[in-house]
Amino acid sequence: MSAVGFAPISARRRRVDKLARGGVALLTALALVPLVLILYYLVRQGIGAISIRFFTSDPTGSFLGDPGGIKSAIVGTLLMVGLATVVAVPVGVGVAIWLVEFGRGSKLAHAVRYFIDVMTGVPSIVFGLFVYITLVLGGVGGSSFAGWKGSVALGLLMLPIVTRSAEVVLLLVPDALREASYALGAPRWKTVFRIVLPTALPGIVTGVLLAIARAAGETAPLLFTAAVVNATAFNYNDRMNSLPALIFQNVGQAQDRLVTIAWGAALTLVAMILMLTLLARLIQRRSRLS
Amino acid sequence: MSDPAPNALRRDVTPPEPIQPHEPPVAPARPVPHAGQAAPPERLARAVTVERLNAWYGEQHSIKDLTLSFAPNKATALIGPSGSGKSTVVRCINRMHEEIPGARAGGRVLLDDDDVYGPGVDVVAVRRAIGMVFQKPNPFPTMSIFDNVAAGLRLTSRKVGRDQVERALRGAGLWEEVKDRLPKPGIGLSGGQQQRLCIARALAVEPDVLLMDEPASALDPISTLKIEELVEELKARVTIVIVTHNMQQAARVADDTAFLLDGELVEVGPTEKIFTNPDDSRTEEYVTGKFG
């Protein structure tokens, strides 16, 4: 071919490119609007409620005098979500390991995966109802409403989230690594624990955080499993307060003081989850360097 | 089939004395007359003999009645077109083939006199004795250079000394390049270095045989050259089976060459003969580039 120069980019292509870029930017901005608004209102409405006493005293439940703080709700949320995490994460990751490393392709694995998908779609109030009917009405453990029953409901809710996300990241671990491990004479379980899990760890942590955040924000499963109370409880067999339940209760009150407390509690909840996420990322980064 | 005589690969029999220094095989299965370029091996490795090996992937019969032997302290190349079963043969030798769902193998693979497929044989012991290097470098991404080399020992519950890691890295010709950054991640190395890291990882468990499944096909020419030089050096310590689709590479590194076609052995012999004066017309057509 003779020396013909390259044709310049056509005006049409330039226009289409500009349009596409503009469109994507616009959509991004649109998606950010509610997020920013939520954070803005949360801080604006909630910051007024924050004080040292807010975190160190229980709600009083009195309609006239001092409404108190949210200590019992913070403690209750930490205890119940903590217990649910401790139980649901090992089980969920274990199921994921089985699905990916051992049961891959088997009929049972397909069935398990299907039920987990169904469980993911179950509304959270159904878990609460299930625990209410089986554990609360039955008075299991000698109590009606109890913190650990709330944990059961939250754990059931977390289980499919943890399993599904862990399964996805385990599937992402290249088979070449498993083969390399087998070729070195490593047994299967060691390959899973020493090679596959560490490789998938960042992804698993992300999934776990997602599940924790979801559970910490759930009201429905707690309303009729752990109930809503004022006093701080450390005994899992007692009724426990929780941040979402407290928000739910206070925001419906006809008193601005109580609504402000609900906003303050919401801000606290968001801040707690944010701190947890940051902490996890920090630990992850440190462990990767070593 | 096989007698219940002592078999070093059996799980229930603890070999009382160390396997090395190994007695030279009394009668090599097939004496390989090779022009005496060879310095005496610093460690006598073991021979591998494949007898009437058959392998399947599901219904697909991919290795058919293959009988072939690999002389100790020599490099044997497996050549053949894609799908001829070269990789499958290698994967049958250390029983990696069976890790693929639906895959199975039958026949005998002997490490000197021990049947790799014998009853009661521990796969772990087989794979310790027969190391493997894969086509694509696959260092463990979560581990440092040091830990990668140590992985084989640690994964099989053995203690790791710094000198063992150093020896393995020296064996793989990587020590000088990485000695100052052993705690750095293994995936930070270049592709060729990663592959030599994988070779070091395989060497650290002190195998008798090293299987190399197209070890240089994902590497640049200079890295390939280093791997090829390494093969030459490693023969002093291990028996090497190298799969390659690069005929020049086979000609450069292998003492013997076996030509496979459709899962069957067409011809095996000293590399020079295979490339210059093969007995079978199909071999000649393949090595002269008429097909494949």
In a domain, A102, yes or no: yes
What is the b/e burial string over B163-178, where b = at least 16 CB atoms within 10 angstroms of the residue's CB?
ebbbbbbebbbbbebb
Q: Tokens 């870029």 identify what position?
A: A21
Helices (H), B182-239: 191-204, 221-234
In a domain, A11, yes or no: no
In a domain, A21, yes or no: no
User: Testing the interface with B: which of A170, A173, A178, A184 to mutate, by most B Cβ within 10 A?
Assistant: A184
Measured distance CA(A19)–CA(A26) in Å, rounded: 10
pLDDT digits (tens, 9 = 90+) for B79-110: 999 889 999 999 999 999 988 888 999 999 99
pLDDT band at A100 (very low <50, low <70, confident <90, very high): very high
CA distances to A82, B237, B286 from B80, in Å: 59, 27, 8
Q: Residue B31: pLDDT above 60?
A: no
Nearest chain B CA: its distance from A194 CA (Å):
8
Q: Residue B1: pLDDT above 80?
A: no
Q: List all residues 6 or more positions away from B268 whose beta carbon is below 8 Å from its beta carbon.
A: B68, B256, B257, B258, B259, B274
From chain B, pick out residues whose CB is under 8 angstroms from the CB of A186. Answer: 124, 152, 155-156
Nearest chain B CA: its distance from A110 CA (Å):
16
From chain B, pick out residues whose CB is under 8 angstroms from the CB of A181. Answer: 140, 151, 155
Q: Residue B189: pLDDT above 80?
A: yes
Report the number of distinct structural domains present in chain A.
1
pTM for this entry: 0.80
Measured distance CA(A150)–CA(B100) in Å, rounded: 44
pLDDT digits (tens, 9 = 90+) for A203-248: 899 899 989 999 999 999 999 898 888 888 898 888 999 999 999 9
Range of the domain at A218: 70-243
**pLDDT at res. A88:** 96
pLDDT band at B7 (very low <50, low <70, confident <90, very high): low
From chain A, pick out residues whose CB is under 8 angstroms from the CB of B154. Answer: 194
Measured distance CA(A11)–CA(A29) in Å, rounded: 27
Q: Residue B15: pLDDT above 50?
A: no
Peptide bond into B33 cis (omega under 30): no
pLDDT digits (tens, 9 = 90+) for A50-81: 889 899 888 887 777 788 889 999 999 999 99
A194·B155 Cβ contact <8 A: yes
Range B234-261 average pLDDT: 92
Q: Can you give the CATH number for the domain in which A97 is found?
A: 1.10.3720.10
With residues binned 3-state (H G I as helix, E B as strand, rest as coil), the percentages for chain A, rounded to 5, are 75, 0, 25
User: Testing the interface with A: which of B142, B158, B199, B241 to mutate, by most A Cβ within 10 A?
Assistant: B142
Q: Residue B124: pLDDT above 90?
A: no
In a domain, A91, yes or no: yes
In whole angstroms, how large is the CA radius of gyration of chain A?
25
**pLDDT at res. B231:** 92
- Search chain A and give the residue with CA nearest B122: A185
In a domain, A55, yes or no: no
pLDDT digits (tens, 9 = 90+) for A112-135: 999 999 999 999 999 999 999 999
Answer yes or no: are the C-beta atoms of B107 and B98 closer than 8 Å.
no
- Search chain B and give the residue with CA nearest A173: B141
Q: Are strands B103-111 and B114-115 parallel, antiparallel or unpaired?
A: antiparallel
Range A250-265 average pLDDT: 88
Domains of chain B: 48-287 (3.40.50.300)
> Which strands make up the sheet holding B239-243, listed edge to edge?
B130-133, B209-213, B239-243, B75-79, B256-261, B264-270
Answer yes or no: are the C-beta atoms of A146 and A79 closer than 8 Å.
no
**pLDDT at res. A65:** 75
In a domain, A29, yes or no: no
Nearest to B134 among A179, A194, A198 (CB): A179
Of A124-138, A173-187, B3-17, the least confident = B3-17
Q: Are strands B239-243 and B48-57 parallel, antiparallel or unpaired?
A: unpaired
**pLDDT at res. B102:** 87
Of B20-34, B112-126, B213-227, B256-270, the least confident = B20-34
pLDDT band at B36 (very low <50, low <70, confident <90, very high): very low
**pLDDT at res. B292:** 66
B141·A177 Cβ contact <8 A: yes
